[in-house]
A and B are shown apart, each in its own frame.
Chain A
């Protein structure tokens, strides 16, 4: 039985209202058969501090990544993960997390690599749920093992690799890091390593749109109109653009990927998960420094 979408007017204005739900909607539907809630946080202890009743903990670091190679788990790993949590292919999954859902959207992006049909984001995430005084629990009920199908991971549509980015130079690239990371400012402290990369700066031609500008103080995504101002009017993106977003390891850029693809309806948006930790250490990769996008 299909779980209805959230009819909140703000969502109706988005290109894909079916992938986002409000805290009120979740409170009304919690416990419905076929609905599974997943918590995915930057801080690995928050779930233990308290979580939405019945939520499964799926950690990006420890559950969604390959243990050896810098890559995501494959179909077998995803199947095993889903089975462990009793998740079925036809379940509606609602994902939420801390800090404005930045890691929750990263988990959602990985679920989308496996084409799970119905995955939605809880607008405002963990902080909004708690700020509204809604209940959390430390209980973890045992879950019956599921039977998820073996599905191959599909990197074609929403994931960009280094060579894709090289081929993409000159087309829209969104750098969602802070302005200081974008410009490549170094600190005055000697021997201070640039976080995870040997060089600072940005990919030439990339536009700077820090990820958190897409959300309000309470962690909810801004309205359609506000997002259009941010990405179209201010950043200069145009309808029909083929976009690649990146940050440091693809975590913040997933958050922007979600906004561009599902809220604004850009059809071709890819997340470059190698991001700056890869590009900024890559021998002879071109780099632009300073506040301007720079020439390709």
Chain B
């Protein structure tokens, strides 16, 4: 069966799976430290972003679709490195793709990273929540945009 995981996310997955468990946490922390800041417009209009309710911490995302190219923006507090790491994985992995490629990304991507045992399924719901909200926003903005 074809794997519709976009190439950048596939690379990320390979990166995690190559490492031992302890190192996977360090790798996630690297992503956390690599979350790009919001562009000025969104930094000044955070009310336009959507809260990811699946996360305990305040995490907000917004998707732009211009000429069928997707850009994902996210913000999460510094004291929530796990959610910053999750957001960063998706920002880097989905930005620049065509709408359909994002919509085709498998829902179970979060469970394929080898993090289930060390991060826990409950925490990974936050990553799942981010992914389905990004996909929903892309679907909405592709139709109207």
In the assembled complex, A44 has its CB within 8 A of some CB on chain B:
yes
User: What separation, in Å, do the CA atoms of A261 and B85 have in the docked complex?
Assistant: 37
The number of chain B residues touching the other chain, given as a range, is 20 to 34
* A residues in contact with B143, CB < 8 Å: none
Is the beta-carbon distance between B25 and A45 smaller than 8 angstroms? Answer: yes
With contact pairs A43-B57, A45-B85, A98-B79 given, residues A62 and B28 touching in the complex (Cβ less than 8 Å):
no
Check B57 against A44 for contact (C-beta < 8 Å): no
The residue on A at minimum CB distance from B31 is A45
What is the predominant secondary structure among interface residues of chain B facing chain A? helix
The answer, among B25, B56, B80, B122, for a CB contact under 8 Å with A61, is B122
- Contact digits for B77-108, partner A, Cβ 8 Å, 1 yes 0 no: 00111110100000000000000000000000
Within 8 A of B (CB), among A98-134: 98-99, 127
Is the CB–CB distance between A45 and B56 below 8 Å?
no
Cβ contact within 8 Å between B81 and A43: yes
A46 touches B122 (CB 8 A): no
Alpha-carbon gap, A42 to B123, bound state (A): 9
Interface residues of B in 114-131 (CB under 8 A from A): 117-120, 122-123
Within 8 Å of chain B (Cβ to Cβ): is A139? no
CB distance from B72 to the nearest CB of A (A): 20
| Bound CA span A48–B122, Å | 20
Q: How far apart sit A44 and B56, CA to CA, in the bound complex (Å)?
A: 13
Q: In the complex where A43-B57, A44-B25, A48-B25 touch, is A62 in contact with B120 (Cβ < 8 A)?
A: yes
* Chain A minimum-CB-distance residue to B85: A45
Instruction: Give 1 or 0 for each of B47-67: 1 = CB within 8 Å of chain A CB.
Output: 000000110110000000000
B26 touches A43 (CB 8 A): no
Q: A45-B32, A192-B53 are in contact. List 20 more A-B contacts (CB 8 A).
A: A43-B79, A43-B80, A43-B81, A43-B82, A44-B82, A44-B118, A45-B25, A45-B81, A45-B85, A48-B26, A48-B29, A49-B81, A61-B120, A61-B122, A61-B123, A62-B117, A62-B118, A62-B119, A98-B79, A249-B122
19 interchain pairs, CB-CB under 8 A: A43-B57, A43-B80, A44-B119, A45-B25, A45-B29, A45-B32, A45-B82, A45-B85, A46-B79, A48-B25, A48-B26, A48-B29, A61-B120, A62-B117, A62-B119, A62-B120, A99-B56, A195-B53, A195-B54
Could you list which residues of chain A lie within 8 angstroms of chain B, going by C-beta atoms? 42-46, 48-49, 59, 61-62, 98-99, 127, 192, 195, 249
- Could you list which residues of chain B lie within 8 angstroms of chain A, going by C-beta atoms? 25-26, 28-29, 32, 53-54, 56-57, 79-83, 85, 117-120, 122-123
